[in-house]
Amino acid sequence: MKTLRRMPKATHPILSREFTVTPKYAFERLDHYLVRQQAHSSRTVLQRLIKKGEVRVNNRMVKPNYKIRPGDRVVCRIPTPTPLDLVPEPIPLDVLYEDPALIVLNKPAGLVMHPAPGHYTGTLVHALLAHCKDLSGIGGRERPGLVHRLDKDTSGVIVVAKTDSAHRSLSQQFKAHTIVRQYQALVAGRLRKGSGTIDLAIGRDRWERKKISHRTARPREARTTYRVIERFAAATRVEVFPRTGRTHQIRVHFASQGHPILGDRVYGGRSAVLESVPADRQMLHAERLGFIHPERKEYIEFSAPLPADMERAVEALRRFSAPR
């Protein structure tokens, strides 16, 4: 059954918000200022609204990079979230925690986050719509409640907002890089240092548009720290802490060092494959996630155990590395 269907166009209510710039924010970019004021969680959406004239300063149209001044009157007209047109699907979810504001899940490898070309059914969003009757719409029609994502073949902890206010709060925490994120990964080769930092700006690859790399026209700061947990004959088990949240960051960073994630054929090619180790996907798991609860204003943290396929890979690496 087709689960993505067109809805008739409708006029949706407009939320109007007004701000008066204080000296604290003098000469900040307008789009950055509006994100700080939580006018909307997405700077891209705000830039589009500014260009359309839905955001005005002192009743004048300006550009997203307009430098605001103390006393400027900023008025935003923001359309309310559009109704969802996806059909819920009763896909089982591994729920680690849930309350009226948010839900924390242990996402299995192989589950796509949201509808996209080639994946119009069976996504996490379809499962969430069946599980949550009051899911936030602020993330958009195809991404309701989503404030961050894990790649299809990355497993582990993910948080989803159930209310618009929770969505705004969590989005701000991710933008400020205050969210605690810890991964486990198996990488090809033996890392010599016990710990380290990979500081390499990345972005959309100039020649292979589906990939991320340092060969980009628009490099964005990206930093990853790691700590070695266990060394094997031909691989290393590491704890990974992404300090920024770029697309494919961990995978690209370790591949750039000559130590791609095991099983990651996209960024590692043949060097990411060991015949003795079963790895049908990249061996990357989001082990721990911590953040300030949007309503209770207290720090909470969740973890998910290493999935069975990574446990099998670790055991295979130990057997292969054992003295004979």
Same domain, 296 and 209: yes
The parent domain of residue 31 ranges over 15-79
Q: Which of 175, 200, 222 is the last residue of a domain?
A: 175
Q: Strand 155-161 to strand 102-107: parallel, antiparallel, or no bridges (unpaired)?
A: antiparallel
Whether residues 140 and 260 fall in one domain: no
Same domain, 53 and 109: no
Looking at the domain assignment, is residue 286 inside a domain?
yes
49 and 162 share one domain: no
Residue 148 · residue 159 · CB < 8 Å: yes
Residue 12's pLDDT is what? Answer: 52
What pLDDT was estimated at residue 81? 58
Same domain, residue pair 194 and 275:
yes
Q: What is the distance between the alpha carbons of residues 204 and 177, in angstroms, rounded to a whole number?
A: 21
Judge if 143 and 44 occupy the same domain: no
Q: Considering the domain boundaries, does residue 263 fall inside one? A: yes
Please give the model's pTM, rounded to 2 decimal places: 0.75
Domain stops at, among 175, 194, 212: 175
Same domain, 75 and 61: yes
Structural domain contains residue 5: no
Domain check: are 240 and 299 in the same one? yes
- Domain membership flag for residue 84: no
User: Does one domain contain both 314 and 278?
Assistant: yes
Supply the pLDDT for residue 43: 78
For residues 85 and 143, is the Cβ–Cβ distance under 8 A? Answer: no
Q: What is the mean pLDDT of each run of 10 residues along the chain (324 residues)?
A: 39 76 93 85 82 93 94 88 71 96 96 83 91 73 81 97 92 94 98 96 90 92 97 97 96 97 95 89 98 97 97 94 68
Q: Are 175 and 38 in contact (CB under 8 A)?
A: no
Please give the Cα distance from 281 to 310 (Å, whole number): 10
Do 159 and 65 fall within a single domain?
A: no
Amino acid occupying residue 56: R
Residues 104 and 196 in one domain: no
pLDDT at residue 121 in the model: 87
Asked if 77 contacts 135 with a C-beta cutoff of 8 angstroms, the reply is no
- Asked if residue 85 is part of any domain, the answer here is no
Active-site annotation, residues: 151
| Rg, Å, the chain Cα set | 22
Which two three-digit tokens encode residue 227?
A: 């700590």
- What span, in angstroms and rounded, lies between the C-alpha atoms of 320 and 324? 9
Residue 124 lies in a domain: yes
In a domain, 30, yes or no: yes
Tell me, yes or no, whether 188 and 169 share the same domain: no
Last residue of a domain, one of 79, 109, 135: 79
pLDDT at position 100, please? 94
CATH number at residue 281: 3.30.2350.10
Question: Tell me, what CATH number does 19's domain have?
Answer: 3.10.290.10
Total domain count, the chain = 3
Residue 123 lies in a domain: yes
What are the residues facing 57 on neighbouring strands?
A: 60, 74
